Amino acid sequence: MNFSLTEEQLTMQKMARDYAENKIEPVAAECDEKNEVPMELLQDMILQGFSTMTIPQEYGGSGVDMITACLVIEELARACAGITTGAAANSLASYPILIAGSHEQKEQYLTPLSEGKFAAFCLTEPGAGSDAGSVATVARREGDEYVINGSKCFITNGGFADVYTVFASVDRSKGLKGLTAIVVEKGAAGLSAGKKENKMGIRASNTSEVFFEDVRVPVSNRLGEEGEGFKIAMTTLDISRPMVGAMALGVARAAYERALKYAKEREQFGRPIAQFQAIQFKLADMAMEIDAARLLIHRAAYMVSQKAARFSLESAMSKCFAGDVAMRVTVEALQVMGGYGYSKEYPMEKYMRDAKIMQIYEGTNEIQRIVIAQNLLR
């Protein structure tokens, strides 16, 4: 077992840190306040390759391993989890194509993702959240076309994506065995975006409803076979969850680093508060949990890159633990800063708001615990 990073990983990590500090951090507070996506910056992040890191080079990606991708995402999210969510959503939407797409589909849909196009992963519906198998959107086959009807909600980049990877049922009587993955492209008649969510955190990301009203797409847009959609969606989430863990880790680290700096500078009772054991214990717990989360994330990421037969357990553990750590660390780090932590003048309260989604999206942490338990009891 080797815990050191490779030269390439160190270079990518530094490049991402510099980019995050110079480009993302300066606009993070304003985008959060205005509930606004910095579209030019997001597009630049895509052009820099931050959304296509694990896509093979032949389809326009960088083809790096998942640990490297997680290192990069951690750095970006340390500057702003909202902006990073927009970039990571492109990766999420690309996985169904990578998993089940033909060579032609990969060329057609993945290559534009490295050229600045936006993508959205459309699984969740008003009536299908944790119970992803109960998707009600239907794709009715008519000759060489599917006619899609239904609605999706909480879709990142849903308001402006160029490519949507959509999960719809070709036969609702078959339950989750009717689910099918289909690509829908911007401009398709009947495709529209609905309300944009006004969220508590990650406000610099676009979260929208997406509607399909008699949207016609050729059968050649289908990824894999009819009925394979649920497994494609689950495999996608297994791959993407370590990356959500890495985002949570970035938020936790940002909060911890600020708390550490503040504790060394802030004086009360004639000495820096870092000299009080109550503060030291908080800092020690934060550092320990952040390290533990990173180890779980890198193990899961390693398994993704090794193309292990199944890594649902490790993937769920990494996302769940890191999400919980982000929440605990941001609460404690805010406490170290006291009133200053609670003030909107400092980013601490934003970190805490941003951390909360890490326990919710890409599968709630309750669902992660179900996945973990199912694997233990199998």
Check binding of 235 to ligand COS (CB under 6 A): yes
How far apart CA 180 and CA 91 sit, in angstroms, is 20
How far apart CA 101 and CA 324 sit, in angstroms, is 34
Site track for ligand COS across 183-222, x = CB under 6 A: ----------------------------------------
Q: Which of 52, 84, 165, 312 binds ligand COS (CB under 6 A)?
A: 312
Of the two residues 227 and 272, which places its CB atom closer to ligand COS in the complex? 227
Please report which helix (H) or strand (E) contains residue 67, including its range: helix 66-79
How far apart CA 72 and CA 204 sit, in angstroms, is 19
Which one, of 257, 244, 282, lies nearest residue 359 by Cα? 244
Please report which helix (H) or strand (E) contains residue 148, including its range: strand 145-156
Q: Which of 234, 275, 305, 335 binds ligand COS (CB under 6 A)?
A: 234
Stretch that binds ligand COS, among 181-189, 229-237, 276-284, 340-348 (CB under 6 A): 229-237
Q: How far is the CB of 314 from ligand COS (least distance, A)?
A: 11
Pair 177, 133: CB distance under 8 Å: no
Q: Which of 141, 196, 199, 231 binds ligand COS (CB under 6 A)?
A: 231
How far apart CA 327 and CA 51 sit, in angstroms, is 25
Provide the token pair at 165: 């990877």
Q: Which of 230, 256, 262, 351 binds ligand COS (CB under 6 A)?
A: 230
Q: Which of 130, 268, 280, 306 binds ligand COS (CB under 6 A)?
A: 130
Provide the token pair at 328: 């605990």
Residue with structure tokens 């949507």?
A: 164
Q: How far is the CB of 21 from ligand COS (least distance, A)?
A: 28
- Residues near ligand COS (CB under 6 A) are 121, 123-124, 130, 132-133, 176, 230-231, 234-235, 237-238, 312, 361-363, 367, 370-371
